[in-house]
Amino acid sequence: MRYYRFLSESGAKKPPQTITSAQIAAALDIDPTQVRKDFSAIGLLGIGRVGFEVCEVCRAIRVALGFDQRHEAVLIGTGHLGAALLAYSGFARYGLHIVAAFDMDQRLVGSKVAGCTVKSMRSLKPFIRKHGIRLALLTTPVEASQKLADRLVSVGVKAIWNFTPTRITVPPEVLVRDEHISLGLSVIAYHLTHEVDSPSS
């Protein structure tokens, strides 16, 4: 993932045709041998003194990680965080496409958020069944998270990207990826506090 993010973001600025393992290693602060080993594992062999073709590396990584596939998702909760996720265009590079947004607040239903019309929760299950959706993003209040997760699992969702500040319980065959923003902030706050408290050198 680090390789792909580095190469795709570099390409967006000024796409180089080739890059060496040493250049990648220096940018990512890792050993060049590890870069060559990782690339070899997905069938990439560099050219002596030239390195690797950037487009071919990105293509191989996309295939290996499934980024070349289209993964359609629904988003539930169109508050500030949900709206930011809907507006983020970078997901497409990884094959993720949010095709519908839902909210429990009837005042938001029918409104546009980042160009997406907010749908009623009543249409959630029929939409998922009709379109074969397997991935959902949750940005809902804590008290609603588990019930919504249960509803999603009941209609065949196989992965939930959970942005709510609580842990949800799902069957073992369903993947949950937790993004606890509050936890991240607590780590940062702790670091900054102790950095300030520590004696200057």
Residue 201 lies in a domain: no
Range of the domain at 147: 71-183
| Torsion region of 77: left, alpha or beta (phi above 0 gives left; psi -120 to 50 gives alpha) | left
Q: What percent of the chain has pLDDT over 90?
A: 52
- In terms of pLDDT, which residue wins out, 27 or 158? 158
Give the model confidence (pLDDT) of 39-91 as tens digits: 998 888 888 778 888 888 888 888 887 778 889 999 999 999 999 999 998 88
Residue 7 lies in a domain: yes
How many structural domains comprise the chain?
2
Residue 194 lies in a domain: no
Residue 19 lies in a domain: yes
Does the pLDDT of residue 11 top 60, yes or no?
A: no
Q: Which long-range contacts (CB under 8 A, 24 or more apart) does 176-185 make?
A: 176/149, 181/81
Q: Does the reported pTM lie above 0.85?
A: no
Check whether residue 55 and residue 78 sit in a common domain. Answer: no
Check whether residue 77 and residue 164 sit in a common domain. Answer: yes
Residue 93 lies in a domain: yes
Residue 1 contacts by C-beta under 8 Å, 6 or more apart in sequence? 65
Q: What is the mean pLDDT of residues 101-130?
A: 95
For residue 182, the model assigns a pLDDT of: 67
Residue 56 lies in a domain: yes
Strand partners, 177: 161
Check whether residue 51 and residue 81 sit in a common domain. Answer: no
Residue 132 lies in a domain: yes
Does the pLDDT of residue 197 top 60, yes or no?
A: no
The domain that contains 21 carries what CATH number?
1.10.10.10
